[in-house]
Amino acid sequence: MEYGIFTVGDVTTDPTTGRTPSEYERIKNTVALALKAEEIGLDVFATGEHHNAPFAAPANPPVLLAHIAAKTERIKLSTATTLITTNDPVRIAEDYAYLQHLAEGRMDLMLGRGNTGPVYPWFGRDIRDGISLAIENYALLHRLWREEDVDWEGKHRTPLQGFTSTPRPLDGTPPFVWHGSIRSPEIAEQAAYYGDGFFSNHIFWPAEHTARMIALYRTRFEHYGHGTAADAVVGLGGQVYLARNSQDAVKEFRPYFDQAPVYGHGPSLEEFTSATPLTVGSVAEAVEKTLGFKEYAGDYNRQLFLVDHAGLPLDTVLKQMDLLGEVVAELRRHGSPEALAVSTGSTTVG
């Protein structure tokens, strides 16, 4: 089980001070966040890819990730997500293979379709082709990392004849790929077909829906002969705001929650935390809620937390990371073989 954080690099005004960070600050803060993630012992740092305000997330995540790779030693670098729809799969193949070399293999990537329709025409695409682009572009990407002299003809890009993408994947091993989707069964099917990972960023959604997407992916993973449904590689999003006690967490986070771009001005913080994976509370509460994800996702492989959005200033986020480190340490303890033996009531013979 891997634990980490993911960020979308939103430049949002801090509602408590009215201060808006510059893009320069936000980008440097993102690097600081990644270094902190390594310092507290997280397994994964993942960045989004966006091309529209208010996001200063890198338009090309490998640039950020290569920089972080040079400043870190252990942490795995990933994306959440790389746009498989509007990027040329040839560029994805080459950029991420290059990153794989620079990062000594400490990377993987998650493919997604993007957050808004207007992005598509900026790259000569049409959102109505979103699923079709995701399917076709990945079919090509998958081959480019596994074959040389690729002949290709599809609907969405110019044909290729005898093309070999460079550099080749490090040690001939293609980067591991996750497919992220909240509500499109086609993407769960795609992940299952290739035996890749499936990531559900369920942080803004009720559990029931997420459960069905993951169940579909697991069933189809087994159907395509990659292993049993339990072997399927599942990742989940999560979102926390932590304090030593619940009341302080709620008091501190409420102004950010009420103004947050995604859910602000809608349900109350209390309603939203009860309906979605968001935890606003103590370390123990975050641990309990996160352990509950297994009830509908089964045993899963990667847990990414969102900690740095809605205008939270860097010093607050870094303090959040220290508390998140405690959450993850506790989650790891629960996931250890000794803890599992205790929780299932079995005894260790030895």
Partner 1 sequence: MTSIVIVTAGLSDPSSTRLLADLLAAATARSLPQADVRVVELRPLAHALTDHLLTGFATGDLVDALEAVAQADAVIAVTPVFSASYSGLFKTFFDVLEQGALDGTPVLIAATAGTARHSLVLEHALRPLFSYLHAVVVPTGVFAATEDFAGDTLHGRVERAAGELAALVNARPATARLDQFDRDVVAMGSFEDLLNG
Q: Which is nearer to partner 1, 102 or 139 (CB)?
A: 139
In 3D space, the residue among 52, 45, 154, 197 whose CA is nearest the CA of residue 107 turns out to be 45
**Quick one: which segment of 20-28, 120-128, 270-278, 280-288 binds partner 1 (CB under 8 A)?**
270-278
CB 202 to partner 1: min, Å: 11
Nearer to partner 1, 107 or 269 (CB): 269
Exactly one of 101, 204, 288, 330 binds partner 1 (CB under 8 A); that residue is 204
Pick out residues in 228-257 that bind partner 1 (CB under 8 A).
Answer: none
**Binding residue for partner 1 (CB under 8 A) from 97, 135, 242, 310?**
135
CB 90 within 8 A of CB 165: yes
**176 closest CA partner among 190, 147, 196:** 196
Q: Which residues contact 315 (CB under 8 A, 6 or more apart)?
A: none
* Cα–Cα dist 45/215, whole Å: 26
Are 218 and 234 within 8 A, CB to CB?
A: yes
Q: Quick one: tokens of 105? A: 């293999």
DSSP 229: G
**56/203 with CB nearer partner 1:** 203
- 152 near partner 1, rule: CB under 8 A: no
**Position among 142, 157, 212, 334 found at the interface with partner 1 (CB under 8 A):** 212
- Give the per-residue contact string, 85-124, with partner 1 (x = CB under 8 A; - = no): ----------------------------------------
Residue partners of 290: CB distance under 8 A and separation at least 6:
238, 277, 279, 303, 327, 331
In the complex, the smallest distance separating the C-beta of residue 306 from partner 1, rounded to whole angstroms, is 16
Please report whether residue 272 would count as binding partner 1 according to CB under 8 A. Answer: yes
Core vs surface per residue 199-228: b (16+ CB within 10 A) or e: bbbbbebebeebbebbebbbebbbeeebee
**Residue 323 CA from chain centroid, whole number:** 20
**Of 49 and 189, which CB lies nearer to partner 1 in the complex structure?**
189
Contact between 48 and 81 under an 8 Å Cβ cutoff? The reply is yes
Helical H segments across the chain, by residue range: 23-39, 61-71, 89-102, 119-122, 130-144, 185-194, 207-223, 246-259, 269-275, 283-292, 294-297, 314-335, 337-343
Q: Does residue 131 interact with partner 1 by CB under 8 A?
A: yes
Q: How many chain residues interact with partner 1 (CB under 8 A)?
A: 27
Among 139, 150, 291, 314, binds partner 1 (CB under 8 A): 139
Kindly state whether residue 275 participates in binding partner 1, applying the rule CB under 8 A: yes
Does the footprint of partner 1 cover residue 263 (CB under 8 A)? yes
Q: Is 189 in the site for partner 1 (CB under 8 A)?
A: yes
Q: Which ranges in 201-245 belong to alpha helices (H)?
A: 207-223
Residue whose CB is less far from partner 1, 4 or 89? 89
Question: Site for partner 1 (CB under 8 A): which residue of 60, 115, 184, 259?
Answer: 184
Contact positions toward partner 1, by CB under 8 A?
A: 131-132, 135-136, 139, 155, 184-186, 189-190, 193, 204-206, 209, 212, 216, 262-267, 271-272, 275
